[in-house]
Amino acid sequence: MTIRSVILGTGSYLPEKIMTNKDMEAIVDTTDEWIVQRTGIRERRVAAADQNTADMAIEAARQALHAAGLQGSDIDGVIVATSTPDTTFPSVAVKVQAALGVRQGPVFDVHAVCAGFIYALTVADSLLRTGAARRLLVVGAEKMTSILNWEDRTTCVLFGDGAGALVLEAQEGSGEIADRGILSTHLHADGNLRDILYVNGGVSSTQTAGHIVMEGKEVFRQAVALMADVVTEALDHNGISSADIDWLVPHQANIRIIEGTAKKLGVELDQVVLTVDRHGNTSAASIPLALDEAVRDGRIQPGHLLLLEGLGSGLTWGAALIRY
């Protein structure tokens, strides 16, 4: 018997405040034209000063539970992917647990930056397949605007805030590619590349949160190559071709990186879920935000084969093949 982690429901949350590229022009030396051409971003959401990552995570998780027709007491644990927790400890996940009435654990955060949601999904899938849990909430939530240097035009125009979530349940499968649920996940990291994208502060070093620092060109170069590799790995592992994929649900950092991955796969852009224009880069939240949008507007239908992929600071990267 094969156990599969099946998606029962999805949810998401975006803060109300919209910051357009025109708004950015008033803050740093940039133009709407530059941002759209180089990144595809037109606007991003910004959390209120008193709105923290956990607040957004709770709203997204609440929606996912509702979509699954479940209550907190039906859930065995919570995993939140985030790099922008409210406090150094405890985790964002315990706040979600308490707010939604989840009575048991495991409950913890996963820190793998923009690949965080793929990492969290992988951990959740492992817990479900070993029988350690039957139903888990998996959330990606970030307040990236809290670690931006608003004087650095090379980074501050790129990021936004938000959260996305899903409920996974262990169900019996046949072990075939036709099964619903997570079919495989593929995780990678290369700590030798940690200096091309990092935050210049932290608890043990500066006792401050710090700000994002990025060698954009080098991250871009790595992302295009590594995303192409990992999506190929996911297809090969499952003995399928890109023609079998219904939707590519990528991390939303830059439209040009996404186009590169789609091209490598031979997938048309109308089979790619795109939110980068409206959300910017929301790090660990971007994939579940995109997933929820396409589920809610009916593009993603039961039985569809989804390829999720993302790369972030570390570098960390990964992919997941899921039948919705």
Does 289 bind ligand UT7 (CB under 6 A)? Our answer is no
Q: Provide the mask over 49-88, with x wherever binding to ligand UT7 is found by CB under 6 A and - wherever it is not.
A: ----------------------------------------
Which of 18, 32, 36, 38 touches ligand UT7 by CB under 6 A?
38
CB of 81 to ligand UT7, least distance (A): 13
Q: Which stretch binds ligand UT7 (CB under 6 A): 71-79, 128-136, 215-223, 298-306?
A: 215-223
> Which residue's CB comes closest to ligand UT7?
216
C-alpha closest to that of 107 among 72, 142, 83, 62: 72
Does 216 bind ligand UT7 (CB under 6 A)? Our answer is yes
Establish whether 251 is a catalytic residue: yes
Phi first, then psi: give them for residue 293, nearest 5 degrees.
-60, -45
Report the site for ligand UT7 in 108-127 (rule: CB under 6 A).
Answer: 114
Establish whether 281 is a catalytic residue: yes
Which of 217, 263, 266, 301 touches ligand UT7 by CB under 6 A?
217
Does 257 bind ligand UT7 (CB under 6 A)? Our answer is yes
Which of 81, 167, 212, 253 touches ligand UT7 by CB under 6 A?
253
Does 285 bind ligand UT7 (CB under 6 A)? Our answer is no
Which of 23, 25, 30, 184 touches ligand UT7 by CB under 6 A?
30
Q: Which is nearer to ligand UT7, 5 or 281 (CB)?
A: 281
C-alpha closest to that of 189 among 250, 236, 230: 230
C-alpha closest to that of 10 among 66, 54, 94, 74: 66
Establish whether 188 is a catalytic residue: no
Which of 12, 82, 91, 254 touches ligand UT7 by CB under 6 A?
254
Does 288 bind ligand UT7 (CB under 6 A)? Our answer is no
Pairing outcome for strands 305-312 and 247-250 = parallel
Q: At what angle do helices 92-100 and 53-68 cross, to 10 degrees?
A: 50
Q: Which is nearer to ligand UT7, 97 or 252 (CB)?
A: 252
Does 282 bind ligand UT7 (CB under 6 A)? Our answer is no
- In angstroms, the CA 73 to CA 28 distance is 47
170 forms bridges with which residues in the sheet?
5
Which residue in the list 114, 186, 211, 279 is annotated as catalytic?
Answer: 114
CB of 144 to ligand UT7, least distance (A): 9
Which residue in the list 186, 211, 251, 279 is annotated as catalytic?
Answer: 251
CB of 73 to ligand UT7, least distance (A): 36
Please give the size of the binding site for ligand UT7, defined by CB under 6 A: 20
Q: Which is nearer to ligand UT7, 38 or 129 (CB)?
A: 38
Q: Which residues are catalytic?
A: 114, 251, 281
Binding site for ligand UT7 (CB under 6 A): 30, 34-35, 38-39, 114, 153-154, 157, 216-217, 219-220, 223, 253-254, 257, 281, 311-312
